[in-house]
Chain A
Amino acid sequence: MALPLLRTRGRQRMDWTDWLSYAYLAAGLLTMFAPIVWLVMSSLKTESAISQFPPSFLPFSQKTVQVEGFEQPLPLYLVTDDKGVQRAMGQVRRIGIMSTMVNPEQPQETLQVNIKDRKPVNTLQFAWTNYTDLFGKFQFGRFLWNSVFITVAATLLTLLVNSMAAFALSKYRFTGQKWVFLLIIGTLMIPPTIVLVPLFLVINSAGLLNSLWGVILPAIATPTGVFLLRQYMLTIPDELLEAARMDNASEWRIYWRIVLPLSAPALAVLAIFSVMWRWNDFLLPLIVLSRSESFTLQLALNSFQGELHTQWHYLLAMTVITLMPITLVFAFLQKYITTGIAGAGVK
């Protein structure tokens, strides 16, 4: 008897719907994670290995061999000579389409080989320099600090401002309340790209250009945050507030000491979202911050995607670095996120 697709199952044996479900999940795992894994693996390749086609999964790079009588290590190739014997030889130089190869065991013996008849010998090589170079190349610590400062400050302010607004919209009745709510939600309709130039003018007149606050302040009134918190606060029983008012508590005290702690799960969800949004913010910092000491990590990432050329190896390494904090936050708070959204959404 096949149980409905929707029921949670209690049987020990699995039937075809179970197999199908697991197959779907496996496919989902592959689709979601495989690109990330490929990204991380590629970020450990040298620049030349990255442009190899067909690409290899593991980072391979050409082996070099130190041959007696030659100063520099020579790149190693597999050469098939006219007798059909394959030998590994080092390349001394290449002129035109002929390369001069030398046998590492017999350094006196050289051979002229057409470049078509040789194949590079590759070895597993992790290009950690892609990462370490970045620390030297840029004021990496500075960019990290800027990103962290913006994220933390903006998140704290977002939590405060949005919860205050959600409190007002859920626990009070005042004229114009409905319009205020619609107004706040209506800002969802404005894609940020579109108001970029006027926003720049406003930030400029406020004197916040090149300041981290110019990136923080415009971002704290998120409509999603207000919506989420309001939904949750609607479930807090009004009797609680009434009781507090009867005890002569001020409204601020009610907000701060009752409503806010009780909304902790929804606040946590908003905090996680805010961290994610501010950490990944790109367009606004791009127009507000033009001095290199104010750059965030995402802006620095952009600098590798130059107009005139793309340094893929640094670009990929930088991408992985900006991915890591979010991944860590995710790994630790994963359960909280997924149940939190579910909880906040249901009510």
Chain B
Amino acid sequence: MNTAFPQTKTLLALALAAGIPAMSMATDIRVMCYQDGIECEVTSAIARRFEAQNPDVKVIVDTVPYKSIVEQLPVQLAAGQGPDIARVTDLGGLSKYYQDMTPYLKDAKYLEANFGSTLPWLRPSAADKGIYGFMSQLTMTGPYVNRTLFEQAKVPMPGAKATWEEWIEATRKVGKATQTQAALAWDRSGHRFAGPAISYGAKIFDAKGDLTIDDGYKTAVTKFVGWHKDGAMLKEVWGGSGGSTYADSIGEFKNARVAMVLSGSWQINRLQKDIGNAFDWVAVPNPCGPAACTGIPGGAAWVSLKTSKAPAQVAMFLEFMAREDNYAEFISKTENIPAHAGLAKKGVAYPTATPAARAALGVFSGGVASLAPAAYQFQGYKYNRAMMLPTVARTTQAIVGEISVDEALSKIAGDMADAVKQAQK
């Protein structure tokens, strides 16, 4: 019996050790990162350089699926757990968990000067002046077009100020001539939808500053459903899922099943890699509606979180990443548009980008100027998903014929009001 004990003890120790994460002497910072292209890999490389300069800090970059950021992170943060830094897209919704870095920053003015226009997106309220992180990139929604298909169909591509109707006509002709599955497709996302909605006259916010479904928005929804019904839009993207799950249309674009998609600038790296030389693709300026020719800005931000036990080190690392040379490296390797004002003016070199990718980046960067003010406001609004998610779910129901367009519109308004009311309790 006595000889049994040492064995038992080792067994127990082994068992416990396997379950508990290792402790280390240095301060650990955990970064929860998701990527569309290679953002997390590039960040890891930058982190290695930071560690070399600051040996008492260890930076661990966890690459997680986007789903974790959307679903698990809020639950963790609400329970008081979570990483030190996270790359998030729901900027307003998570703002109550952000940590103000100002007391720990060496040079707060640098961040103010270069990221000033997007820092408000991270602030919990308008009066707040804190610095909670910075945008890792600036993205813009906008269309991509398969120029080879246009050439094959011998249809001229509409110009820079063309309307959505003109583009639908052109792609319809191309589709018929080249026998693609459909003329075009939009990403299954309320965020993508908002751009054309504003172009069609939606004001998004009413006089009091609350979300509203006005006539412009209704027109956009009605036209959108109509384009599905007459076969111009590929039914699978929006109609293929239920609820408000995200689905992109890039897969269809890559396989030349549509001539045009409404997506965004974060896809450039992926398009370059996946399409290669199969056909010529270009980004075009956002088509116009009666009110505007706009897309929606966006992007993912690096934020400092309240759950961190090492806010000073977090601020150090974030400042390191925001430094012009490191930020430029991140932007050029991941082929994104910089949110850094200085870099945007100087221009960034994209040495690994193909001519097609470079041209696309140019189109998107140029399009920033034509973004409507409502688009900025929408992106920065805390409860914008209260409008985006029901739009997706209910419009899909209208597309597949479950409900009529009018019912869908009233349901969107109802769901939106319910969600905002609960959120404000």
Contacts and interface: CB of A to CB of B under 8 A. Distances in A.
| Direct A–B contact present (CB less than 8 angstroms) | yes
Interface of A: 47, 51, 53, 93-94, 96-97, 115-116, 149, 153, 197, 200-201, 204, 209-213, 216, 286-287, 290-294, 302-303, 305-310
Given A97-B151, A310-B251, A204 B81 contact: yes
5 contacts: A51-B251, A97-B148, A153-B15, A197-B75, A212-B19
A292 B83 CA distance: 12
Contacts of A149: 18
Contacts of B81: 204, 209, 290
Contacts of A53: 255
Contacts of B254: 51
Max chain B Cβ within 10 angstroms of own Cβ: one of A51, A115, A290: A290
A78 to B, nearest CB: 17
Nearest to A146: B18
Nearest to B273: A47
A70 to B, nearest CB: 15
Contacts of B246: 307-308
Given A290-B62, A302-B65, A309 B248 contact: yes
Contact of B251 (A211, A212, A216, A309): A309
B64 interface: yes
Interface string B136-171: 000000000001100110000000000000000000
B328 to A, nearest CB: 24
Contacts of A47: 274
A211 B21 CA distance: 7
B21 A94 contact: no
B293 interface: no
Given A94-B277, A97-B151, A306-B66, A293 B21 contact: yes
B72 A212 contact: no
Contacts of B270: 309
Contact of B21 (A51, A115, A291): A291
Contact of B30 (A51, A212, A291): A291
Contact of A305 (B65, B80, B83, B251): B65
6 closest Cβ pairs, A-B complex: A307-B66, A292-B62, A213-B19, A212-B19, A303-B65, A308-B36
Given A292-B63, A307-B246, A309-B248, 12 more contacts: A96-B151, A97-B148, A197-B75, A211-B20, A286-B72, A290-B72, A290-B76, A291-B21, A291-B62, A303-B63, A307-B65, A308-B66
Interface string B61-81: 011111110101101100111
A220 to B, nearest CB: 14
Contact of A290 (B15, B64, B274): B64
Contacts of A286: 68, 72
Given A96-B148, A287-B72, A308-B36, A212 B18 contact: yes
A309 B67 CA distance: 12
Interface string B269-290: 0100010010010000000000
A48 to B, nearest CB: 8
